[in-house]
Every structure is written in C-alpha cells, then in structure tokens.
Amino acid sequence: MIISLIPTAQDIIPESLNNKSAVMFDILRASSTISTALANGCQQVIPVLEVADAFALAKKLPENTYILGGERGAIKVPGFHLGNSPLEYTSQVVRGKTVILTTTNGTKATRLAAAGAGEVFIGSLLNTSAVANRLLARNRDVALVCAGTRGKFSLEDTLAAGMVVRELVYLWQAKGTKPLADAKQPAVTQEIYLDEVPLLEGENLVLEDAAVAALRLAECYGANPLRALYDSLHGQKLLQLGLEDDLAYCSQVDLFDVVPVYRDGKITLNP
C-alpha cells in the first residue's frame, strides 16, 4: 500500500487517482459537517458546486424532504436553511432528509477527487479511526486529498490527513508479525529503497514524503488538535466570525464511527 497526499484540490490530477482509495479532508468545515449530518440520520448529502445548482436541485425534490446547506466566505448562503456549521446538523433537523450542500472548498474538492477515483471517502478528525480501518480493509493505494483554503495549503486539513496516516501505520503494524516498539511511532528500516521511497517496517507500507510530513504534523499536534485549528489561517477567520464553538467541535477525534462515501453524485454511509 502506497500512501500519497495531495495538498490542495487544485493539485488533483485525476489520472493519478486511478485504482486508489481517495479521502477528502476539509475539516473546517465541510467534511466535519457531512460526517455529522450522516451520523445524525441524514439520508444522503448531495454536494454541488454552485449556489444556483443547489436551488435548481431543490426544485426537483418533494417539499420538506431536503435541506439547503452551505456557505460562501464562511457565511450562510441567503435563502438556505443552514450554513456550514456541523453544530446545526442535529438529528432533529436532518434525520431522514437529503442535504444539498455547497461550500467554498470541500464540495469542489470532493467532486474533483471523484473524477479520478470514482468513489471518495470523507475524512475529518471526527472519524479518523473509522476512515483508517476502511482504507485498510480496501487494501488499495491511498490518496489523501486536502481541500486547502482558496487554493493554498491548509494546516488543519493536513493535520487530519496525518492523523489518518498515523492510525493506518499503527493498524498495519498491529496486523503484522513484528512487535510494536511504540504503538503510535512507526519504525523505519535502514535499507535502501528503489525510487527513494521509504518503506515502513511491516509489510509493504510506503509513505510518500508529503504523507510523512503529515504524519509528523499529527505527532506534533496529536495531543491537542484544537491548537492546530487555532494556529491555522482559516481557523483564525472563523474565530473572528465568532465561531469558536465550531473549532472546538471539529477538533474532536473519533467522535463518530462512520465513513461517508461519495459515489455517483451522492454521499451516503453505504459501504
């Protein structure tokens, strides 16, 4: 299994995702909102690119069966039921409903990743272990896709990707025959590898450099993910908007045992 990391949605090359399991991270806040909505009984989430697309799709659905949700510039879209705060997507609001979602970064990243991979898992801090276990079960090469913020590197998305890498390394070593020197610290062998790709001790688990960098970031912030969200530029913007509760919520690790899957235009919990 080779684990690669794509730092922003703009860096996606669809051909490079063929035959890989792709995971999209936009933890502030689209992927956290999607995971929360589905964990709270939402029937499905349909991500669309533009506000106009959301309104057009809503007109095709029966009344009271859908919720329009999303943001532009972190602010709820006028005329929408909800914004992009996961705290809004309670079971009382979303259970049994279709959520039509459009966001500045996350919905675009999901659709771009799917153009190459076909199906895309939705990752966040809220479902780190569940995503790692699903990737291990798939046993395919992995592409961790960070949405980024307006085309730039995002600290919080890379942290979440690194947390998944850390859990994958732990699970991979745990299923092997070699004892774990440290449950969360992968040991690197001293051999020389083809293509200058380091191979972690175990059975053919390869981390490309960007995935290693994300792993080290997770080791740095792992005990206090909220600090990373406060350190991030987008996190600071949300704080300025008075959304500190969103940061606290999105920083929780393994709150849910769910793995949202985007396939054929819809995000569901179907395996």
Tokens of 93: 């609001």
Q: Note the CATH number of domain 2-29+103-254.
A: 3.90.1560.10
- Of 25-29, 150-154, 158-162, the poorest mean pLDDT is in 150-154
CA 8 – CA 221 distance, rounded (Å): 20
The pLDDT score that the predictor gives to residue 85 is 98
* Confidence band, pLDDT 50/70/90 cuts, at residue 205: confident
**Is the bond preceding residue 29 a cis peptide, omega within 30 degrees?**
yes
Confidence band (pLDDT; 50, 70, 90) for 24? very high
**What are the structure tokens assigned to 77, written together?**
């879209």
Task: Specify the pLDDT at position 258.
Answer: 98
**DSSP character at residue 89:** -
Distance of alpha carbon 179 from its chain centroid, rounded? 30
229-257 average pLDDT score: 97
User: For the chain, what are the domain ranges?
Assistant: 2-29+103-254
Q: How confident is the model at residue 118 (pLDDT cuts 50, 70, 90)?
A: confident
pTM for the predicted model, two decimal places: 0.90
% the chain with pLDDT above 90: 82
Q: How confident is the model at residue 270 (pLDDT cuts 50, 70, 90)?
A: confident
Distance CA 175, CA 172 (A): 5
Alpha-carbon distance of 162 to 125, in angstroms, equals 10
Per-residue pLDDT tens digits for 63-113: 999 999 999 999 999 999 999 999 999 999 999 999 999 999 999 999 999
Rounded Cα distance, 199 and 169, in Å: 11
Give the whole-number percent of the chain exceeding pLDDT 70.
89
Give the mean pLDDT of 178-193: 45
Q: Are 38 and 45 in contact (CB under 8 A)?
A: yes
